[in-house]
Amino acid sequence: MSYYQPEMECATRESMRALQSERLVKTVGHVYRNVAYYRQLMEERGLTPDDIRSLDDLHKLPFLTKNDLREAYPYGLLALPLEEAVRIQSTSGTTGKRVVAFYTQRDIDVWEECCARAIVAAGGSKRDVVHVCYGYGLFTGGPGLNGGSHKVGALTLPMSSGNTERQLQFMTDLSATILCCTPSYAAFLAESIEQHGIQDQLSLKAGIFGAEAWSEEMRHDIESKLNIKAYDIYGLTEVSGPGVSFECSEQAGMHVNEDHFIPEIIDPDTGEVLPDGVQGELVFTSISKEAFPLLRYRTRDLCVLTRDKCACGRTLVKMSRITGRTDDMLIIRGVNVFPSQIETVLMNAGYPANYQILVDRVHYTDTFEIQVEMTPEMFSDTVKEVEAREIELLTSMRAMLGISPKVTLVAPRSIARSEGKAVRVIDKRKI
Ligand code: ADP
Ligand code: ZN
Contacts by residues 183-186 (CB-CB < 8 Å, ≥ 24 positions apart): 183/209, 183/210, 183/212, 183/214, 183/218, 183/219, 183/222, 183/230, 183/353, 184/212, 184/214, 184/353, 184/417, 184/418, 184/421, 184/422, 185/133, 185/161, 185/418, 185/419, 185/420, 186/222, 186/226, 186/230
Closest-lying ligand 1 atom to the alpha carbon of residue 210: 23
Report the nearest-CA residue for atom 8 of ligand 1: 91
Residue 76 is given by DSSP the state: T
* Angle of the 339-348 helix axis to the 383-401 helix axis, nearest 10: 130
Q: How far apart are CA 189 and CA 207, in angstroms?
A: 12
| pLDDT one-digit tens code per residue, 63-118 | 999 889 999 999 999 999 999 999 999 988 776 678 999 999 999 999 999 999 99
Is the CB of 234 inside a 6 Å radius of any atom of ligand 1?
Answer: yes
Domains observed in the chain? 1-325 (3.40.50.12780), 330-427 (3.30.300.30)
- Reference 133, options 190, 67, 94, 56; nearest CA is 190
Query: Residues with beta carbon < 5 A to ion ligand 2?
Result: 248, 250, 310, 312, 314
Torsion-angle region of 96 (φ positive above 0: left; ψ -120 to 50: alpha; else: beta): left
| Residue 74, preceding peptide bond in cis (omega within 30° of 0) | yes
Is the CB of 260 inside a 6 Å radius of any atom of ligand 1?
Answer: no
Alpha carbon 345 to its chain's center: 21
Lowest model confidence (mean pLDDT) among 14-18, 50-54, 348-352? 348-352
Is the CB of 92 inside a 6 Å radius of any atom of ligand 1?
Answer: yes
Average pLDDT over residues 381-406: 93
Cβ–Cβ under 8 Å, residues 148 and 210: no
**Nearest bound ligand to the CA of residue 250:** 2
Cβ–Cβ under 8 Å, residues 192 and 419: no
Report the separation in Å between the CA atom of 318 and the middle of ligand 2, taken as the mean of its atom positions: 8
| pLDDT one-digit tens code per residue, 365-375 | 899 999 999 98
Place 431 in a pLDDT band, splitting at 50, 70 and 90.
low
Place 220 in a pLDDT band, splitting at 50, 70 and 90.
very high
Place 391 in a pLDDT band, splitting at 50, 70 and 90.
very high
CA 176, 181, 185, 186 dihedral sign is positive
| Stronger pLDDT, 324 or 230, i.e. the higher one | 230
Is the pLDDT reported for residue 331 higher than 70? yes
Closest-lying ligand 1 atom to the alpha carbon of residue 66: 2
pTM passes above 0.75: yes
Cβ–Cβ under 8 Å, residues 388 and 407: no
Residue type, 36: A
| Stronger pLDDT, 41 or 344, i.e. the higher one | 41
Cβ–Cβ under 8 Å, residues 231 and 253: no
Place 316 in a pLDDT band, splitting at 50, 70 and 90.
very high
Is the CB of 299 inside a 6 Å radius of any atom of ligand 1?
Answer: yes
Is the CB of 236 inside a 6 Å radius of any atom of ligand 1?
Answer: yes
Q: How far apart are CA 17 and CA 22, in angstroms?
A: 9
Is the CB of 322 inside a 6 Å radius of any atom of ligand 1?
Answer: yes
Cα-based angle 55, 257, 77 (whole degrees, multiple of 5): 70
DSSP lists the bridge partners of residue 178 as 130, 206
| pLDDT one-digit tens code per residue, 341-366 | 898 899 889 898 899 999 999 988 89
Q: Using only the alpha carbons of the chain, give its radius of gyration.
A: 22
